[in-house]
A and B are shown apart, each in its own frame.
Chain A
Amino acid sequence: MSEACKFREIVPWYVEGSLAPSEAAAMAAHLAGCDACLQEVAATLRVRLAVRDVWAGMGAPSPDVWRRVVEETGGRPLARLDVGSFLVGLEVGLRRTRRSAPLRGDLRVLNRRVPLFNVDRKGGTK
């Protein structure tokens, strides 16, 4: 394999800007004297643009996915109590998941949450 071929393999990452700085510098120096790799850069840029367009147009998961994730993680809120002020407060929330109904309490100090308890009907206090 020639020296040019070694550089040619990393052209995609040079174009993307994800090479290590030292490797990117070596690539830039190489490009100054290699027409084949310069053409490779141009071709790679065209490919990159085309595939990014395709992936960008692939849409997103449906909102149902988030609903299913919530059911498996946080569950639906059943009740929430929030007392105090911006400076200090207490938050208690009861949620319902597929498997349990965890009750969670947090002390809120200057918008920073400190967990007090997290009681799961099945698993007990964590």
Chain B
Amino acid sequence: MKAAATEVTSGDRTDRALVARAAEGDHEAFRVLYERYAERVYRYALTLVRRRHLAEEVVQETLVAVWKSASRFEGRSKVSTWILGIARYRALDLARREARGARVPAIDLVEPDPAPTVERSVVTRAALEKLSPEHREVVFLAFYEGLSYEEIAAMSGVPEGTVKSRMYYAKQALAEALT
């Protein structure tokens, strides 16, 4: 097994230890991983697929893939970027399938939450919606996940310069909308 299984005790709850325990079939460790990552994967997926039911499909497919491939996690990247990388692949694949089948035309990213919304939130949502998925993604990964531009480039398979320019364009567009 390649996973970092050197400190596999039930008291070790670091992400790496949880992945190692999941690789050995420990479903409780997997449940903790799910609790840590389901929301993050869901929000990331929403930036790419924009529909809540599709984002939930991405969460499901991603976490099942994590369970099945935990033993192959080599620890060369952070667990978070490994999981988000799987989510990215699943989301883009799902988006492609959706585009071919055009199952659901509605976009619900801009629908207001049941909770009261403030004007800035509505404006920001609308501005995010206007960005391309690639631009929205880099803003999410940088500002919500806190990934470096090197990590984003590696995850997205594009040059670092592309990541920087996408971010610059996206930030300018958002800043203009918020003024």
Chain B residues positioned under 8 Å from A52 (CB to CB): 143-144
Tell me whether B43 and A58 are in contact (CB under 8 A).
yes
Known contacts A12-B143, A112-B9; decide if A46 and B25 are in contact (CB<8 Å): no
Asked if B125 CB lies within 8 Å of chain A CBs, one says: yes
**Residues of B with Cβ closer than 8 Å to A?**
8-11, 24-27, 30, 34, 38-39, 42-43, 46, 52, 55-56, 59-60, 63-64, 67-68, 113, 115, 120-121, 124-125, 128, 139-140, 142-144, 146-149, 164-165, 167-168, 171, 174-175, 178
Asked if A72 CB lies within 8 Å of chain B CBs, one says: yes
Chain A residues positioned under 8 Å from B52 (CB to CB): 59
Tell me whether A50 and B124 are in contact (CB under 8 A).
yes
**Residues of A with Cβ closer than 8 Å to B?**
8-10, 12-13, 16-20, 43-44, 46-48, 50-55, 57-62, 64-66, 68-69, 72-74, 104, 111-113, 115, 118
A60 touches which of B8, B38, B128, B142 (Cβ 8 Å)? B38
Could you list 8 A-B pairs, sorted by A, with CB under 8 Å?
A18-B142, A50-B178, A51-B128, A53-B121, A57-B113, A65-B60, A113-B8, A115-B24
Chain B residues positioned under 8 Å from A8 (CB to CB): 168
Chain B residues positioned under 8 Å from A20 (CB to CB): 148
Q: How many A-B residue pairs have CB under 8 A?
A: 119
Q: How far, in angstroms, from A101 to B98 measured CA to CA in the complex? A: 34
Q: How far, in angstroms, from A64 to B25 measured CA to CA in the complex? A: 22
CB distance from A85 to the nearest CB of B (A): 15
CB distance from B2 to the nearest CB of A (A): 16
Tell me whether A61 and B175 are in contact (CB under 8 A).
no
Chain A residues positioned under 8 Å from B165 (CB to CB): 9
Residue of A whose beta carbon sits closest to that of B139: A51
Known contacts A16-B146, A57-B121; decide if A9 and B164 are in contact (CB<8 Å): yes
